[in-house]
C-alpha cells in the first residue's frame, strides 16, 4: 500500500505558489504583495497567506517596507555573488561526498539528466534547460547524503532562479555548461572524487562569468 494524496496544507501550497511567482518573475522586484489580493487569487483565506509570507520574509524573498506589508525583494547582484561564493565551497564538497555513494541507479539518473539538458539546450528550451540544471545539481546534493546541503541549496536555487530569469533569453551560452556537467559526472562515475570536485569548482567559477557576459556585456560584471 502507498500513502494516498500527499495533500499538503494550504500554507505550503500558498508558499509554493508565491515562491514560484517570485522566482519566475511573475511578481516583479519591488512589487507590493497585498494579502487580500493574493488570498482572493488563490481562493484561500488570508490566514495561510499570512503564514506563507512570514516564511518568505525569513528567507529574504520578500522584505519589509517598514510601513505596511511586504514587497518582493530586489534581484540583488550582491546576493548573487554571495551565493556563488558559497556554491564554490559547497558544490565541490557535495561532489566529494556523493562520489563514493554512487549507485548504478543514480548513475543512470545522472546520465539521463545530462542527456536531457543537452537535448533541451539544442532545442532552445531555456526553461527546460534551467530545470535540468537544477535537477543535475540537486541529484548531487541528495547523493551526498548531507541533508543540510540539500536544504541550503534548495533555498539558494530559489534566489538563483530569479537571477537566471533574466538570462533565459540567451540560450546557446549554456553549451559549455553541459559539457562541464558531463565531464563532472563522468569523473564521479569513475570514482575520481577529487578530480570531479576540482571540475565542479571550476564549473562554479565559470558560471557567474557566463551570466554576467550574457546579460550585460558592457557592464563591469560582478
Task: Give the nearer residue to a copy of itself in terms of CB position, either 6 or 217.
Answer: 6
**3-class DSSP assignment, residue 149:** helix
CB of 165 to a copy of itself, least distance (A): 19
Site string (152-181) toward a copy of itself, x via CB under 8 A: x---x-------------------------
Rounded to whole angstroms, how far apart are CA atoms 171 and 161? 15
Select the residue interacting with a copy of itself from 58, 67, 103, 218 (CB under 8 A).
Answer: 58
Rounded to whole angstroms, how far apart are CA atoms 138 and 149? 9
The item of DNA, a copy of itself, none sharing an interface with residue 85, based on CB under 5 to 8 Å by kind, is: a copy of itself
Per-residue b/e over 25-64, b at no fewer than 16 CB within 10 Å? bebeeeeebebeebbeebebeeebbebbbebbeeeebbee
Site string (116-155) toward a copy of itself, x via CB under 8 A: ------------------------------xxxx-xx---
The item of a copy of itself, DNA, none sharing an interface with residue 31, based on CB under 5 to 8 Å by kind, is: none
Rounded to whole angstroms, how far apart are CA atoms 71 and 61? 9
Select the residue interacting with a copy of itself from 38, 49, 72, 83 (CB under 8 A).
Answer: 83
Residue 85 found at the interface with a copy of itself (CB under 8 A): yes
Q: Which of 125, 139, 137 is nearest to 83 (CA)?
A: 137
Sheet strands side by side (includes 32-33): 32-33, 70-72, 62-64
> Which residues form the interface with a copy of itself (CB under 8 A)?
11, 47, 50-51, 54-55, 58, 60, 78-79, 82-83, 85-86, 88-90, 92-93, 97, 146-149, 151-152, 156
Amino acid at each position: 500500500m502507498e500513502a494516498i494524496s500527499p495533500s499538503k496544507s494550504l500554507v505550503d501550497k500558498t508558499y509554493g505558489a508565491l515562491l514560484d511567482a517570485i522566482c519566475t518573475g511573475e511578481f516583479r522586484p519591488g512589487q507590493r504583495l497585498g494579502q487580500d489580493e493574493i488570498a482572493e487569487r488563490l481562493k484561500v483565506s488570508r490566514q495561510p497567506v499570512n503564514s506563507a509570507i512570514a516564511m518568505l520574509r525569513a528567507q529574504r524573498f520578500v522584505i519589509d517596507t517598514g510601513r505596511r506589508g511586504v514587497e518582493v525583494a530586489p534581484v540583488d547582484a550582491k546576493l548573487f555573488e554571495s551565493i556563488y561564493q558559497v556554491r564554490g565551497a559547497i558544490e565541490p564538497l557535495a561532489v566529494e561526498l556523493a562520489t563514493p555513494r554512487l549507485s548504478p541507479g543514480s548513475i543512470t539518473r545522472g546520465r539521463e539528466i545530462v542527456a536531457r539538458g543537452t537535448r533541451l539546450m539544442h532545442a532552445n528550451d531555456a526553461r527546460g534547460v534551467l530545470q535540468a540544471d537544477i535537477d543535475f545539481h540537486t541529484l548531487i546534493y541528495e547523493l551526498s547524503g548531507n541533508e543540510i546541503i540539500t536544504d541550503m541549496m534548495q533555498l539558494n536555487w530559489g534566489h538563483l532562479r530569479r537571477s537566471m530569469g533574466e538570462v533565459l533569453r540567451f540560450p546557446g551560452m549554456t553549451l559549455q555548461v553541459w559539457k562541464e556537467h558531463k565531464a563532472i559526472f563522468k569523473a564521479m562515475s569513475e570514482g575520481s572524487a577529487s578530480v570531479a570536485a576540482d571540475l565542479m569548482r571550476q564549473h562554479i567559477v565559470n558560471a557567474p562569468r557566463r551570466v554576467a557576459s550574457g546579460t550585460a556585456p558592457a557592464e563591469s560584471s560582478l
